[in-house]
Structure 1
Amino acid sequence: MNNREQQLKAFDRLLTIMDELRLECPWDKKQTIQTLRHLTIEETYELGDAILDNDLEEVKKELGDLLLHIFFYAKIGSETKDFDIADVANEICDKLIHRHPHIYGDVKVKDEEEVKKNWEKLKLKEGKTSVLEGVPKSLPAIVKANRIQDKVAGIGFDWEHPEQVWEKVQEELNELNEEIKTGNTDKIESEFGDVLFSMVNYARFIKVNPEDALERTNKKFIQRFQFLEEAAKKEGKQLSDMSLTEMDVHWENSKKFFK
């Protein structure tokens, strides 16, 4: 592993490269904060994939891509004289110190939950008008639901026991079934949303990240379905020509390899 001097030298090297690219590369010269935005989102998802795969070599590479974007934004900010990389780093340093009074002050906490509650209280003192103000509007719905519930729980708006949350899930399922009987598509969609929201809440209580859990199932399904496609190909068949019973044989077999 690199020591602090080597780490700082690597940051200086990246700063120099960023300066050179911005000055000499036609593509880099044209980029703005707006044009980089969708690329940053893409890089973040690629990092998420690497983390889910537990591919640490890939995690390292994707972190590098994200770090480049941070330096890129800071470089653009320095050109407009709005901020530079030092401002970015000092801003987060100041925030971390302020929001960790149990480390840098005299506040006492007994566990992680108290830390989270203090964090939300401090954010409100900083001028935020709502606990939910910091939830990005463009987050995927399941991730957003999880963040919303996590934040309101941080100020004590929460269930006390997992059993209560599970009862709420059952209640929402019953309400969905009742609306399905009416055939009112708008109310069905609304109740289905309530079911998903309550399931996300239950996931939090049983210490499961719902986004990670669903993505894990997505990947498992893809692996099993591609196994099914390959098995059909080996038999010289098209899936569309196979019966559901025939496909199910290969599907069940796929479970031996992808769990």
Structure 2
Amino acid sequence: MTHQAKVDDLLAIMARLRDPNGGCPWDLEQSFRTILPYTLEEAYEVAEAIEQDDMLGLRDELGDLLLQVVFHARMAEEQGSFDFSDVVRVICDKMIRRHPHVFSDTDLDDAGAVGANWERIKAAERAEKGKPAAAEGALAGVAQALPALVRAEKLQRRASRVGFDWDGVEGVFDKVREELDECRETLADQVEPTERVHEVGDLLFSCVNLARHMGVDAEQALRAANHRFERRFGQVEAGLRAQGLEPGPEQRDEMERQWGLAKGRER
């Protein structure tokens, strides 16, 4: 396209792709469920572009994510449920409703007050839909499909809002040590494998709690650790190749040495 592209252009392209008369066979075969994995993948690719400070990549990935929204909206329109304009209208109404300190005369002084008011408004919205907060419980509405670390943090924050939380970070450190000891105990021969799964899960949940109390996003921290491991191990392999060696158990000592060098270079 030589003109300045608009959302309407993207909507028209998707309508053409989904047209039974001459549309794309692959696009026509898709459903909400088959497209879902692509939607999740595009969201993670947006996250990766942000983590890498890749603005051109972020531009492209945001476009891919927007395409997913348009794709889902088009399929919903075809079955008479809603269309893209309904999606936009609902989110505009929601943002105005949840920001009364911006769009009306409500006075909120800081981010904490904004967050608390946001949760009160969400609870009122659930009640209007016939889902009273008291009946649902404090943990209701945390999506099951979230990454486990993200969901753990959200569950903990929900519990914290009703007073179920540690008074300080030292108690969380103690809990992590307790869970680590319980993990070690499951190495005994007579322990059921499922018990090990449970104890490792409790340890990970406690680590998320520790991250939360330290003001760290556990999901982002682990993603960053994954990136560091990939980068450092790549340097380990490069160091081995420079000596005509290949990674393997017999090179364990040299791999450890190269790992130390890689960490030193980063410092």
Code of the residue aligned with 1:213 in structure 2: it is A
SS at 2:18's partner residue?
Answer: helix
CA distance in 2, matches of 1:115, 1:168: 31
SS at 2:107's partner residue?
Answer: coil
Does the C-alpha gap of structure 1 residues 60 and 90 become closer, same or farther in structure 2, counting only changes over 3 Å? same
The answer to whether the 8 Å contact 1:22/1:28 transfers is: yes
1:15 aligned residue? 11
Return the TM-score normalized by structure 1: 0.86
CA distance in 1, matches of 2:45, 2:205: 26
SS at 1:83's partner residue?
Answer: coil
2:27 aligned residue? 28
Code of the residue aligned with 2:257 in structure 1: it is V
Count of aligned residue pairs for this structure pair: 252
CA distance in 2, matches of 1:156, 1:108: 25
Question: How big is the shift at 1:178?
Answer: 4.7
CA distance in 2, matches of 1:255, 1:213: 17
Does the C-alpha gap of structure 1 residues 102 and 164 become closer, same or farther in structure 2, counting only changes over 3 Å? farther
The answer to whether the 8 Å contact 1:223/1:258 transfers is: no
Spell out, residue by residue over 1:77-124, the C-alpha distance to the aligned partner (whole angstroms, 9 max, x if none). 111121011100111112222222333344333322222222223222
CA distance in 2, matches of 1:195, 1:247: 29
Spell out, residue by residue over 1:42-80, the C-alpha distance to the aligned partner (whole angstroms, 9 max, x if none). 111222222222212111111100101111111111111
Alignment of 1:56-205 (within 5 A): 56-126=55-125, 127=127, 128=131, 129-180=136-187, 184=191, 185-205=193-213
Greater length-normalized contact order (CA 8 Å, ≥ 6 residues apart): 1
Alpha-carbon RMSD: 2.4
Question: How big is the shift at 1:41?
Answer: 1.2
Q: Give unpaired runs (5+ residues) of structure 1.
A: 1-5
Single out whichever of 94-103 and 61-70 deviates more from structure 2: 94-103
Single out whichever of 129-138 and 201-210 deviates more from structure 2: 129-138
Return the TM-score normalized by structure 2: 0.83
1:40 aligned residue? 39
1:217 corresponds, among 225, 250, 259, to: 225
1:226 corresponds, among 234, 238, 256, to: 234
Does the C-alpha gap of structure 1 residues 257 and 26 become closer, same or farther in structure 2, counting only changes over 3 Å? farther
1:248 aligned residue? 256
SS at 1:41's partner residue?
Answer: helix
SS at 1:136's partner residue?
Answer: coil
SS at 2:59's partner residue?
Answer: helix
Question: How big is the shift at 1:183?
Answer: 5.4
Q: Give unpaired runs (5+ residues) of structure 2.
A: none
Single out whichever of 90-99 and 189-198 deviates more from structure 2: 189-198
CA distance in 1, matches of 2:82, 2:164: 37
The answer to whether the 8 Å contact 1:124/1:131 transfers is: no
